[in-house]
Each structure stands twice: as structure tokens, then as C-alpha cells.
Chains A and B, each alone.
Chain A
């Protein structure tokens, strides 16, 4: 991994070029924004005079049209340029083996295959797909947003709304040990809330496999492990791996879900921030600002080392 200062100085000419585009786009966007606001104000004035609801509806539609057609489009154009020209370069400077695709994401099949979430993903989207080899380990990750459709009814009216059950980073990596079963590590809500009783409740969770109790007390407090093979679960989750998962949780300070299946590991990290996304208003010739991308990328790629996946001292060599 190249040091950040070197990457930044190599990128500077292109950053300056793109900065011009950003300012230009931002100026354009502000104009569109002002027009939208102007229409909104005008709508209110007309409504005040005419008092007809059609005015509000029409006005809002026109204002929104100008906003999305102008402001949003201008910002999109800049963001795409940034991802294509700058972010890809940062990525390749960090690791030349990786492939980046801004519009793609982890497939729904893979998402379901992990069995981490039992909800149905009725709305499923994502972006920023990165894949390739990190030393000896094949990895693939992207941002994901999965929502389930819920219908509520109060007798007269039925309402449909979409509830987010996962938003964040989803990673699939080759695991360094061979195994046949399925083992899953989930955040432990029951035990945190109800203590010993919660632990009992987990034993009776029929939607999952058998509970595997681990000897690391801190780990047990944070996570619950389900598996169809008690010995294999402990083979995968060695004493040091338990500690590594705990450290991963502390590092990202968020909910961590891990599933081990078909000699692969699926990792889901909940995150409400949009990763690898430039701010429209922010000047990009500022090195601290560009460092943010380098760091975000670094912490994602480091998950491979955090879980020690590059250590190949067992039978599985590649």
C-alpha cells in the first residue's frame, strides 16, 4: 500500500482539473436550486391568493422537477466523474489488483445465500462494488441497502411501507480453512437485554441452527453463534478468531454479522454513512478531504487482515 502523501501528490493535477468542473457544476446546481426555491415561493403566493389545492400540487411538482433535473443531475455528473477519475486511481494506488464498478453491487443471490438476514429483500439496491485479490484472499464487497415490504391495515385503509433491515457494507471473502457446515455469528440482542434468560431464549430459536456457546465471556455478551456443527463452529471460530471479531466490532463500532458457508465468509457491517461518496460542496484539492477516501478504503480492505484471512497454514492454500 502506497503512503497517502505520495498518492495525493500524484493525483494533484487531476484533482485540480476536477475541482474546476466541481465549481462549475456547483454553480450551475445552485442556479437550479434557486429557481426551485423561487417556484416554491411563487406557488405559496399564488396559493395564498387563489386557495386552490391544485396550485400547491402543481407548484411542488414543478419545483421538484427543476430540483432533480438541475441540481441533482449536476451533482450526479460531478460525483460520477470523481468516482471514475479519482476514486479508481486511489483504489489502484492502494491495491492494483482490485476492480471497481461504481454502479454494481453484491448480487441478491449472494446476499440471500449468506443466510444472515431472514427478511425478504423486496427492495434491494447498492453501489461501489470492489473485487479482486487482497494478497492470497479473493474478496468482493459493496454497499447495500435492503428493505422489506410491510403492509399495515387499520380496517379501512391499507398502507404499504418499506422497512430497512440492512444498510451498510457487505463483504464476501474466501475463508482460509475448509469446512462443510454453516456457522453464523450475529449481534446478541437477547442476552444483552435479558441476561441468562436471554441465553435460554436463544436455545429455543427455531429459525436458526443450534446455539454454540463460546468460552470468551466478552464475545458471548456481544454475539450469538448458531451452527449445525458444534465442533466445526469452534474450528472456524478459534480462540483468536473470537478476539479478532470482537476487535472488528470495536473498530467499526457498529453491528457486525458474519456467516461462514461454502468455505467463504460473508460479513455485513451496518453503516448509515454513504461510503466512497464525494461531497458536492467540499473542495477536493484539500488533502484531508481526499484522505477520507483512502482511510475508508483501507479499513474495508484491512478486514481481510483483521480476520487473519491471509494466513494460510492449514490445508487450504488458495
Chain B
């Protein structure tokens, strides 16, 4: 009997430790997984750009500068190291430049009647929504991870593993207003 109690006293903390340890690891992996899904969506957006430029360039005579800027931004994003701050800064710039194209389209009724362009536009809207979804998923997983790192008792294990708080994504103002841009198209 005494032996059993002794075994329980030793085993229970070990069991708790295992649960906490595994919980932290899965939280960390979730963050990484969510991060990579953002990248997938961003790449999807980059793939759409050449087609988009191709279909609008004949119409948008006044926005030549903007279109060239988008092409350049796309090229530099592809050269930037993956997952770096530089890459995400460039992606943000690219996102707002694309937003400007969306607004400029309003001045070209011919373009708005072009089936090919309309399809691209919907694909772009979709990808923007997916980017925002994966960023939110990333932020949620970071929130969960940070709770694990700071809350008792898992913070003790996190300290041993050398886990630090992770920063969540700043969602650019233009993307938060994505919905309003959508509303505009309805009119």
C-alpha cells in the first residue's frame, strides 16, 4: 500500500509535466503551422498579379506608375528572405497598392464590364479574405501560445524550454477596411 502511494506521489507530477510539456509543444507548432498558411495565401496573391496587370494595363492609362510599382514590389518580395520582416513589409505595401488599383477601377466602366477582369477581381478579393483569415488564425495561435508561456504552471516549463512571448501580426489599416471596399463594388 505504502509503495503504491509513493509511486503515485512520484508519477503524478511526472504525468502533469508531460501534459504541460506536450501542450506547449503543440501550441508552438500551431503557431508555426498558422504562420506557414499565411505564406501560402500570400504566394497565391503574388501568382495572381501578372494576370491582373496584363488585363488592366490597356485600360488604365493614368495608373501606369502604380502598375509598374506593383510589378516591382512583387519582384522584390520574391527576392526577400522568406518569413522575414522585410518580406511582410513589402507584402503590406503590395496589399495597399492593389487596394489602390481596386479603387481606380471605378473610373473605367469598360474594365468593369470585362469578364476576364471580373473573374480576376473576385479571385483577388477571395485571396485577400483568405490572407486576413490566416493572419487572424496566426494571431489566435500566438495568443494561445503566449498564454501558455505566461500562465502558471506552464510558464515554469516554458522557462526551462526557453520559450518567449511571440509577437502577433499588426493587421494593416487598409486590410481591416477590406469589407468597405467590397461594399463599394456593390454600387
A residues 212-240 near B (Cβ < 8 Å) are 212-215, 230-235, 238-240
Which residue of chain A lies nearest to B37 when distances are taken between CB atoms in the complex?
A231
B55 contacts across to A, CB distance below 8 A: none
B125 at the interface (CB under 8 A from A): yes
Q: Are A235 and B129 in contact, CB atoms less than 8 angstroms apart?
A: yes
Q: Report the Cα distance A305→B103, complex, angstroms.
A: 24
A121 vs B119: C-alpha distance in the bound complex, in angstroms? Answer: 43
CA of A184 to CA of B168 in the docked complex: distance in angstroms?
A: 26
Asked whether A315 and B129 contact (CB < 8 A) given A215-B139, A239-B176, the answer is no
How far does the Cβ of B166 sit from chain A's closest Cβ, in whole Å? 16
Q: Which residues of A contact B143 (CB under 8 A)?
A: 213
C-alpha spacing A212/B134, complex, angstroms: 13
B182-A230 in contact (CB<8A): no
Interface size bucket, B side? 20 to 34
B137 CB contacts on chain A under 8 angstroms:
230-231, 234
In this complex, what residue of B is CB-closest to A230? B137
The closest CB in chain B to the CB of A312 belongs to B122
Write out, one digit per residue, whether chain A residues 36-68 have a CB within 8 A of any chain B CB (1) or not (0): 000000000000000000000000000000000
Q: Does A311 contact B (CB under 8 A)?
A: yes
Q: How many pairs, one residue from A and one from B, have CB atoms within 8 Å of each other in the complex?
A: 58
In the complex, which residues of chain A have a beta carbon less than 8 angstroms from the beta carbon of B130? 231, 235
A264 part of interface (Cβ distance < 8 Å): no
**A residues 196-222 touching B (CB-CB < 8 Å):** 212-215
**Complexed CA–CA distance, A214 and B185 (Å):** 27
Q: In the complex, which residues of chain B have a beta carbon less than 8 angstroms from the beta carbon of A312?
A: 122
Task: State which of B141, B179, B183, B186 has its C-beta within 8 Å of the C-beta of A239.
Answer: B179
* A-contact bits for B79-101, CB 8 A (1 contact / 0 none): 00000000000000000000000
For B176, list chain A residues within 8 Å (CB): 239
Residue pair A177, B133 in contact (C-beta under 8 Å): no
Check if B125 sits within 8 Å of A314, measured CB to CB. yes
Number of interface residues of A (CB under 8 A): 20
The contact string, 1 if C-beta is below 8 Å from chain A, for chain B 165-187, is 00000000000100100110110
- Determine if A160 is an interface residue (Cβ-Cβ < 8 Å): no
* Set A213, A235, A240: member contacting B133, Cβ < 8 A: A235
A232-261 contact mask (Cβ, 8 Å, vs B): 1 or 0: 111100111000000000000000000000
Chain A residue nearest in CB terms to B178: A238
B140 at the interface (CB under 8 A from A): yes
CB distance from B22 to the nearest CB of A (A): 14
Interface string of A128-142 (1 = CB under 8 A from B): 000000000000000
Do A240 and B179 have beta carbons less than 8 Å apart? Answer: yes
Tell yes or no: B126 within 8 A of A by CB.
yes
* Alpha-carbon separation in the docked complex, A235 to B123 (Å): 14
**Residues of chain B with a CB closer than 8 A to A213's CB:** 140, 143-144
Closest to A215 in B: B136
Which residue of chain A lies nearest to B139 when distances are taken between CB atoms in the complex? A215
Q: In the bound complex, how far is the Cα of B183 from the Cα of A238, in angstroms?
A: 14
A317 within 8 A of B: yes
Q: Which residue of B lies closest to A241 (CB)?
A: B179
Rounded to whole angstroms, the CA-CA distance of A212 and B185 in the bound complex is 30
CB distance from A177 to the nearest CB of B (A): 7
**What A residues does B123 contact at CB under 8 A?**
315
Cα separation A233 to B134 with both chains bound (whole Å): 10
Given A235-B130, A239-B176, A313 and B34 contact (CB-CB distance below 8 Å): no
Contact assessment for A234 and B122 in the assembled complex, using a CB-CB cutoff below 8 Å: no
B179: chain A residues within 8 A (beta carbon): 238-240
Check if B132 is an interface residue, CB within 8 A of chain A: yes
Residues B134 and A238 in contact, CB atoms below 8 Å apart: no
Which chain B residues lie closer than 8 Å to A315 at the CB level?
119, 122-123, 126
In the complex, what residue of chain A is closest to B184 when comparing beta carbons?
A313
**Which chain B residue lies CB-closest to A232?**
B133
Please indicate which of the listed interface residues A213, A214, A234, A238 has the most CB atoms of chain B within 10 Å of its own CB.
Answer: A234
Residues of B within 8 A of A317 (CB): 122
Other than the given A313-B125, A315-B123, 14 more pairs (CB < 8 A) read A177-B126, A212-B140, A213-B143, A215-B139, A215-B140, A234-B137, A238-B129, A239-B132, A239-B136, A240-B179, A311-B186, A312-B122, A313-B122, A314-B122
Top 8 A-B pairs, shortest CB-CB distance: A234-B133, A235-B133, A314-B126, A240-B179, A231-B137, A230-B137, A234-B136, A313-B125
Which residues of chain A have a CB within 8 Å of any CB of chain B? 177, 212-215, 230-235, 238-240, 311-315, 317
> What are 17 A-B pairs with beta-carbon distances under 8 A?
A213-B140, A230-B141, A231-B34, A231-B37, A231-B133, A231-B137, A232-B133, A234-B137, A235-B133, A238-B129, A240-B179, A311-B186, A313-B121, A313-B185, A315-B119, A315-B123, A317-B122
